[in-house]
Amino acid sequence: MDLKLNDRVVFITGSGSGLGRKFALDFAAEGARVAVNDVNAAGIAQTVDLVKQAGGKAMPAPCDITRLEAIAEMVRKVEAEYGRIDILVNNAAVLLAHALFLETSPEDCDREIKVILYGTLNCARALLPGMIERQYGKIVNIVTDAARAGQEREVNYSSAKGGVISFTKSIAREVGRHNINVNAVSPAATNSPMRLEGLRQLKEKIGEQKLLEREEKIRRAYPMRRIGEPEDVSHAVLFLASDLARHVTGQVLSVNGGYAMLG
């Protein structure tokens, strides 16, 4: 099925690694031109190289999205290079501590909220004027079912993502009249590089056998009996960014194998 993303311009935050890199590669494979945003210059360069090696088009878009003036300047540079930005994927996030709330620091809480929530708001504030002027745009925010169902030891992270869910629904009401769709994709456990690194560290602590037992217990909690893969999330993002989803806005799409069936 043709997603009709050829020659669209997509700005993806946090695409210097992980799921964001997967999104960049998949958008490029559909013919989109990709602005690769991150604070990690080496990661950006690697993503851009991988896109180009696969025959796609990409440019580096380094900046700290917690600074509105920085993202606004980068948007101007991308628009000067590519002419416009059609799609924004707010993917950047940090999870600084997997610990009980009272064991986390206010400084870590502040950082997670700045990157996840304020970063999302800043990017929307910088890109929406152009989308409104052109009467076209797609925004896809990456959230988490931890924010929808609740998750111990991720209170700060989940709270920030919960704010993004509320922003998704609220801003969709404001900009729908301008032919702009705003939706969210909400994964559960996904075998992203971040998760795989966490499993590697856990294996060192508890041993391979206990890790295997833990993973089997997790899989049994999913009706599909599997952990999500990056492409599962990416396919949902591409769909919501396409005109096939032109009548879908203000929605939160869980990609979770049925782990949480939320209304």
Local confidence pLDDT in tens for the 263 residues of the chain: 789 999 999 999 999 999 999 999 999 999 999 999 999 999 999 999 999 999 999 999 999 999 999 999 999 999 999 999 999 999 999 999 889 999 999 999 999 999 999 999 999 999 999 999 999 999 999 999 999 988 888 999 999 999 999 999 999 999 999 999 999 999 988 998 878 887 888 889 899 998 898 899 989 988 999 999 999 999 999 999 999 999 999 999 999 999 888 76
Question: What does the pLDDT read at residue 97?
Answer: 86
Alpha carbon of residue 16 to chain centroid: 12
**Residues 193, 18 contacting (CB under 8 angstroms):** yes
| φ, ψ of residue 66 in degrees (nearest 5) | -75, -10
What top-level class would CATH report for the domain 9-190+228-255? alpha beta
Question: What does the pLDDT read at residue 151?
Answer: 87
Element (H or E) spanning 243, and its range?
none
Question: So which residues are the catalytic ones?
Answer: 157
Q: Domain spans of the chain?
A: 9-190+228-255, 192-227
Question: What does the pLDDT read at residue 193?
Answer: 83
Q: Say how far apart CA 96 and CA 103 lie, in whole Å.
A: 12
Question: What does the pLDDT read at residue 261?
Answer: 85
pTM of the model: 0.95
Under DSSP, is residue 35 helix (H, G, I), strand (E, B) or coil? strand
Question: What does the pLDDT read at residue 263?
Answer: 67
